[in-house]
A and B are shown apart, each in its own frame.
Chain A
C-alpha cells in the first residue's frame, strides 16, 4: 500500500519536473536560433540591445498602449477567473470564446453588406458577443434538458461554432473588400494591431468588470461556495449567476484581440489556479490572481513586442504558465516544495517517536530493571531488530535525537536521558491507550492493533488522550504506562504483528 503511494508520488514529482521542462523549453530554442542569422531569414532573431531598451523603457507610444491594455485585461480576467474557477465553470470561457468566431465573421459580412466600416472593433465584438452567448446557451440547454453532461455540451458548442466560423471565414476571404487578414488576429491574438482606441475599449470593459467584482465580492463569494445558502439568505442567485456570466463575457470578448480566441480561456483559468497555491482565503486568491494576471499580461506583451513574429496570445499564455509553474513549486500554501518539506518534517518526527518508543519497550522488556532506570544502555543491534529500519537511517535518527537531548550515545550504547525517558513513556502510553481502545471499543483483534495504533499515535492530541483515559478508566497518572496487550515481552515473533 505505502509502496504504491510512494510510486505514485514519485511519478507525480517526475511529472512535475517534466512540466517545468516543458515550460522552459522554448528558451533554448529561441537562443539557438539567434546565433545563426542570415539575410532573408524568416526565423526569429534575438532582439538587439536597442530593441530591448525601447521595450523596457516604454519608449514607443504603441508599446505603452499595448502594455497598459493587456495589463488591465490580465487584472480583470484574473479577478473574474478566480470566481469562475471556484464555481467550477472554468471551461465555459473556452466554449464562449470559441463560439465567438462565427459572430466575428458574420458581423464582418453584414457590416460590409450594409456599407459600414467592417473593421471597426465594436461591430466585430458585438457579433462575437451574440454568437458567444448563443454558444453558452447551447451548453446550458444540453446540461439542463438532456442526459448529456456538461463536458459534452462544452465540446459540442465550441467545435460546432468554431467550425461554422471557419466556414464563414472561408467565404469572407472571397469578398472583394475582404482584407480578412485582420480577422485572423482574433484567432491567435495580435497585440501589435492594437491601437489607442482598442486599448481604451479594453480598459473600460476591464474596469467595469473589476468594479463589478469588487462591488459584488461578498455575494459572488457566497455564490461560489454555497449556492443554496446564498439562496436561503435571500440573495437573487440566478441574477448573480447571470451577472458573473456577464462579466466573463465582457472580459472574454475584449480579450479576444489580445490573446486570441483559442487561448483566451487561459487568462481566465491560469492566474486563478496559480493563486490557489499561495492561500486559501477568497479575497487573497482573487487579489493574487489579479496581480499574476497583470504581470503575465505585461510580460507576454513585452516579449511579443520583442519577438513580433511570435503569436502574442501564445506569449501571454506562456508568461502566465511560467508564473503558474513558479506558484506550483514555491507556493506557500500547497506548493510542491512546501509539501515536500512538510512531509520530511513529519517523517522525521515519526522516526524520532519510533526510536523513543522502541528504546522504552526494550528497557521495559527487561523486567529486572527498576522502573525509572535511565542508566542502562541498549545496543544498536537490539534497536535494529525491533523495526524494519536501515542502520544508516537509525543512526541518523539517533543523532538527531541526541541533538535534541532525548538520547545519549556513547559508542554504540544508547541511553535515554531524563527528558527522553519522560517523552518515551508518554509516547508508549499513547500507543497502548489507543491499542486498548481499539481492542475494547472498536473490536479489533489484538494481533492487529499494533499496526493501527502505529499509524495514529503520532497525531494524537492531548485532549484525545484525555478522552481515551476517561473512556478506558485509566488513572491519569504522571507516567503510568498500561501494560502492553501483547504481554510485555517485545520479542518480534511474539506479537505476530509484522514489526
Chain B
C-alpha cells in the first residue's frame, strides 16, 4: 500500500490525538495504581454506549458521552462497593464488574445492530483506517469527525491536567494529606474516572478500545521508568505516545509488505510500538534499565575484585618481607584464594594491567609501584576500620574483618585521615599487624601533605 498524505496523514493525526489524550490521564492511573481500573472503565463503557443508542437511535455524541460518564462512574462505584461488601481485593471486584458490564454491552450491541451501524468488532478494535472517510467541514476545511472529537477530548484532558496539576499531584502521592488540606481525593478519583470514560468513548468508534487501554498504561509506565519528576513524566509520556502512534501506523503500512502482505491493523500496531518503546526503556533506562543496572553491577564487582587482587598481593608481600623478593601469583591461584570465577579474575587482571598496577612475570603477576600504592591505601583503610570498629564502636574482634572488608572499597583519603585521628593514630590494628602509612617511606607525614 502506498502512503498518501490525504489518508494516512489524517489517520496519524487521529492516532496521535487519541494516544496523547489517553496518556495524559494515564500518568495518574499508573501513579495511583489504578491502571487496571482504567482498563476496566474503558471496557465497561460499552453498555453505556448501547443504552445511548437505544434511547437516541443514533450515533450522536451527546447521549453517548452522557452514557459513558454514568457507566464510568458506576464502574468505579461498583468496584469499590463489591470490594467492601464481598471482602475481596480490588482486582477481583474489578474483574467482576468490568466483565459483567462488558458482557452486557456486547449483548446489547448485538441487539442494537439493526438500529445502528455498529458492531462489537468495530467497538473493540476500531476502524481507524476509516476515519478519513467520515468528514465534516469546519471553517471551510474538510476535517474528519473523529479528529475533531479526539482533538476536543485531548484539549479537555490537557486542561484538566494543567488546571488541577497541584491537586492531582497531591492526591496521587498522598491522598490523606490531600483530603486533610481540603480537596477531596475521592472527588479527584471520580473526576478522573469520568474523564477516562469520556476518552474511552471518544476513541471507541474511531480507534478502538485496545489502543486506548494501551495508551492509558504503556507510555506513562515508560515515562515512569525514565524520570522521577511528575511534570517531566507527563510531558515524556505525551511524546512517547505520539511517537508510538506515528511509528505504529508506519509499521502497519510497511512491515507486512516485507512478507508480501498488505497493511495490517493500525491500532494493533500502535499498541505494539508503544510496547516496543516500553521494552527499550525497561532495558536501557538511565537509572532503572535492567541492562544498565546489570552492567553497573558487573562494573562494581569488577572494581571490587581488582581491589581485592592488589590487596591480596600486598598482604603476601608483607608476609614475605623477610625474603625480600616481591611475591607473584597466578590467575588460578587468585581465583581460588578470592573465591571468584576464573573468567572474572582474568578480566580484572586485564583491567589492572591496563592501569599499570600489575605486570606479568614468568610465575604470574606482580604489583607495580602504582599498584603497591593503591594496595597500601586499601589495606590501610581496612586496618584503620578494624581499629575504629574495635576502639570506637566496641565491636567484637572476631566480627570486624567482614565489615572492614566491605568498607575498605569506599574509603577515600579524607575519611582515612579522620579514622586515623579518631583512633588516636594507631600503628597496629586489633590483630596486631602493622597499619601501613599513606606514603611508603613517610611515616607520620600524612594529614599535613595536601595534594
Contact = CB atoms under 8 A, between A and B. Distances in A.
* A, B co-complexed: yes
Interface of A: 11-12, 15-16, 18-19, 22-23, 25-26, 29-30, 33, 41-44, 85, 88-91, 94, 141-142, 145-149, 151-152, 154-156, 158-171, 174-175, 184, 187-188, 262-263, 265-266, 268-270, 272-273, 276-277, 309-311, 313-315, 317-318, 321, 324, 328, 334, 336, 339
B300 interface: no
B20 interface: no
Contacts of B267: 163, 166
A252 to B, nearest CB: 13
29 contacts: A11-B77, A12-B85, A16-B85, A23-B100, A26-B108, A29-B111, A90-B88, A151-B36, A151-B91, A155-B38, A155-B216, A155-B218, A156-B218, A158-B39, A159-B275, A163-B274, A165-B268, A168-B268, A169-B265, A170-B265, A170-B268, A174-B256, A263-B99, A269-B95, A269-B99, A310-B107, A311-B106, A311-B120, A324-B96
Given A145-B290, A167-B265, A167-B269, A273 B100 contact: no
Nearest to B43: A262
A273 B88 contact: yes
Residue with the highest number of chain B CB atoms closer than 10 Å, among A148, A265, A269, A334: A148
A313 B102 CA distance: 11
Residue with the highest number of chain B CB atoms closer than 10 Å, among A25, A41, A317: A317
A270 B35 contact: no
Given A29-B111, A266-B95, A318 B104 contact: yes
Contacts of A321: 96, 99-100, 103
Given A41-B114, A159-B217, A163-B268, A148 B82 contact: no
Contact of A22 (B101, B120, B269): B101
Given A160-B272, A163-B275, A151 B82 contact: no
Interface residues of B, number: 74
Contacts of A151: 30, 33-36, 91
A167 B261 contact: no
Contacts of B36: 91, 94, 151, 154-155
Contact of A90 (B81, B95, B216, B217): B95
B211 A163 contact: yes
Interface string B76-96: 011001101111110111111
Nearest to A13: B81
Contact of A155 (B74, B106, B217, B264): B217
B107 A315 contact: yes
A170 B275 contact: no
B254 to A, nearest CB: 12
Contacts of B102: 262-263, 314, 317
* Majority-rule SS of B interface residues: helix
Given A170-B256, A269-B92, 7 more contacts: A90-B88, A151-B33, A156-B218, A160-B275, A188-B120, A270-B95, A270-B96
B25 interface: no
B288 A147 contact: yes
Interface in B205-240: 210-211, 213-214, 216-218, 221, 224-225
Residue with the highest number of chain A CB atoms closer than 10 Å, among B74, B85, B216: B85
Nearest to B216: A155
Nearest to A164: B272
A436 to B, nearest CB: 35
Contact of B214 (A33, A163, A268, A313): A163
Nearest to A14: B77
B35 A163 contact: no
B116 interface: no
Given A262-B102, A317-B100, A334 B87 contact: yes
B422 interface: no
A147 B262 CA distance: 40
Nearest to A93: B95
A44 B108 CA distance: 11
B278 interface: yes
Residue with the highest number of chain A CB atoms closer than 10 Å, among B100, B104, B113: B100
Contacts, number: 243
Contacts of A90: 88-89, 91-92, 95
B47 interface: yes
Interface in B261-313: 261-265, 267-272, 274-275, 278, 282, 288, 290
Contact of A163 (B82, B104, B270): B270
A273 B82 contact: yes
A33 B39 CA distance: 32
* Majority-rule SS of A interface residues: helix
A43 to B, nearest CB: 5
A266 B97 CA distance: 9
B252 interface: yes
A16 B114 CA distance: 32
B86 A273 contact: yes
Contact of B88 (A19, A85, A141, A167): A85
Contacts of A269: 92, 95-96, 99
A266 B103 contact: yes
Given A42-B113, A148-B224, A163-B211, A273 B271 contact: no
Contacts of B74: 15, 18, 22
A168 B264 CA distance: 7
A298 B101 CA distance: 20
B192 to A, nearest CB: 15
B110 interface: yes
Interface in B95-150: 95-96, 99-104, 106-108, 110-111, 113-114, 120-121, 124-125
Contacts of A262: 43, 102, 124
A44 B111 contact: yes
Contacts of B262: 174
A42 B278 CA distance: 44
A301 B216 CA distance: 34
B110 A159 contact: no
Nearest to B293: A145
Contact of B264 (A16, A42, A170, A317): A170
Given A146-B225, A314-B106, A334-B86, A43 B111 contact: yes
B45 to A, nearest CB: 13
Contact of B282 (A26, A146, A265, A334): A146
Nearest to A26: B107
A163 B47 CA distance: 23
Given A12-B84, A148-B30, A273 B96 contact: yes
Contacts of A159: 39, 210, 213-214, 217-218, 271, 275
B272 A318 contact: no
